Structure 1
Amino acid sequence: MSDDHDAAGAVRFIFEAGVLKRAARTGWWFAGVKHPESIAEHSFRTALIGMMLAAMEGADAARVSMMCVLHDTQETRITDIPHIAKRYLTAVPNTAVTADQVAGCPPAVIDLITAAVAEYEAGETVEAIVARDADKLECLIQAVEYRHQGIDNVQRWIDSSQAALKTASAQRLADAALDGQPLAWLTPPPTTPAK
C-alpha cells in the first residue's frame, strides 16, 4: 500500500471517531436525562480518570489513557446499546468492529489500536483493569452530577458502577464523589498561613 492510501485510511478512522462527539450516551434517557453527554465527552473524562487511577495504582498511565480513549470507539458502528437492550441484541465483539474500523490505516496504527482494544476487552492486565474502573467511575460521577441537576432516578447507575470497581483507588474516588459536590471546585480551598 502507498503512504497516501495509508494516510487516507487513517483519516477515515479519524472522521469516523468524530461521530462520537455527536452520539449520545443513550442509557441516560431511561433516567430522564433529555440531553445526555456524548460518547466522546464520556471517553475524554474516562481517559482523565484512567490517567489518575493509573498513577494511584502504579500502572502505565499512557497505556490506560489510550485504552480509555478507544474503549467506546466501536459505537460509531453499533451505537451505544443500553444495558437492557443487550438482553435482546447480539453485537459482534468490539475487537472485530475495531479491526474493520482501522483496516485501511498504516500497519503500525492498526497494530497499536487493535492491541489496545484487545487488551481492554480481555481485562486481564493491571492497565486494562484500571481502564475498566475508569469507565465505571466516570459513569458513577456522571450519575452524581445528574442527581445534583435534579435527575433523581440515577441510583441504579451509581450502584452498578460502584459494584463493578476492582481497584482500591477507584473505590476511594467513588466514595469521595458520592460525598462530594460537583461544583465544590469553584470555591478555592483555604490557604494555610505562611510561616
Structure 2
Amino acid sequence: MTELAGAAGYLFEAGMLKRARRSGWWVAGVRDPESIAEHSWRAAVTGMAIASLEGADPARTALLCVLHDTPETRIGDIPKLGQAYLTAAGALDVVADQTAQCPPRMSDTIRDAVAEFEAGETPEAICANDADKLECLVQAVEYRHQGVSTVQPWIDSGLAALRTDTARRLAREVLDQDPLAWEQARRNPAP
C-alpha cells in the first residue's frame, strides 16, 4: 500500500455523493431529486458569495460547504422526518473513520473543516451554514417552478434558519425571481 492509497480511497468514497440523492425531497414528491454532491457544489458557490459580501474568507467558506455532507457517504442523507426516529453516528466520528487512512495533513484538513462547519461559530462556518440552508431554499424554489407544490415548508425552514443579513437578503431576491430570469435576460437584452 502506498502513501496515497488512503487518499485515493477517500476520493472514491466522496464520489458516492454524486450518486446519493437528497432524500428529503422525496417527502415533497420530487421524483428525481438532486444528488448530495450537486447540493454541496451549489452550497459552496453560495457560501463563497455570502462570505464575500459578509467579509469572511470565501475560499474557506467554500471548503466547509464542499465537505460538510461527506459523512453522508456512510450514514446517508437522513431527512428531518427520519431524524426523529434514528440516531446516526456524529459527523466528526464518521469523518475520523473516513480519513483514518489518509495522509495526516489531508486528514487534518478534512476533519478541521467538518468540525468548524459543525460548530458553526467562525464567520466562515456561519456563512457556510447559511449557504447550506439558502441552497436548499433555492432548490425548493426551482422545484416549485417545475410544478412541485409541496415545498413551502423547506422554504419556510430555510428562511427561519438564516443568520447573516446577506443570506436573508439573498433569500428575498430568490423568492422574488423567476429561476430562469437570468436566461430570459440573455435572450432579450435591454436596449
With normalisation by structure 1, the TM-score equals 0.94
> Is 1:60 equivalent to 2:57 in the alignment?
yes
> Is 1:156 equivalent to 2:153 in the alignment?
yes
Tell me which residue corresponds to 2:114.
Answer: 117
Tell me which residue corresponds to 2:141.
Answer: 144
Q: CA RMSD in A?
A: 1.1
Q: In the alignment, is the contact (CA less than 8 A) between 1:54 and 1:61 conserved in 2?
A: yes
Once the two structures are superposed, what CA deviation does each residue of 1:32-66 show, in whole Å capped at 9, x if it has no partner?
Answer: 10000000000000000000111000001111000
What amino acid is aligned across from residue 54 of structure 1 in structure 2?
A: A
> Is 1:177 equivalent to 2:191 in the alignment?
no
2-structure distance, mates of 1:104, 1:42: 27
1-structure distance, mates of 2:3, 2:41: 26
Once the two structures are superposed, what CA deviation does each residue of 1:17-41 show, in whole Å capped at 9, x if it has no partner?
Answer: 0010000000000111000000000
Aligned-pair identity in percent equals 61
> Is 1:16 equivalent to 2:17 in the alignment?
no
> Is 1:29 equivalent to 2:26 in the alignment?
yes
| CA positional deviation for 1:5 | 3.0
Give SS of 2:87's match: coil
Once the two structures are superposed, what CA deviation does each residue of 1:123-146 show, in whole Å capped at 9, x if it has no partner?
Answer: 111100000000000000000000
Unaligned runs of 5+ in 1: none
| CA positional deviation for 1:167 | 0.1
With normalisation by structure 2, the TM-score equals 0.96
| CA positional deviation for 1:93 | 1.0
What amino acid is aligned across from residue 2 of structure 2 in structure 1?
A: H
Provide the aligned length of Structure 1 versus Structure 2.
Answer: 189
Tell me which residue corresponds to 1:128.
Answer: 125
2-structure distance, mates of 1:35, 1:57: 34
2-structure distance, mates of 1:147, 1:37: 14
Q: 4+ runs of 1 displaced by more than 4 Å?
A: 189-192
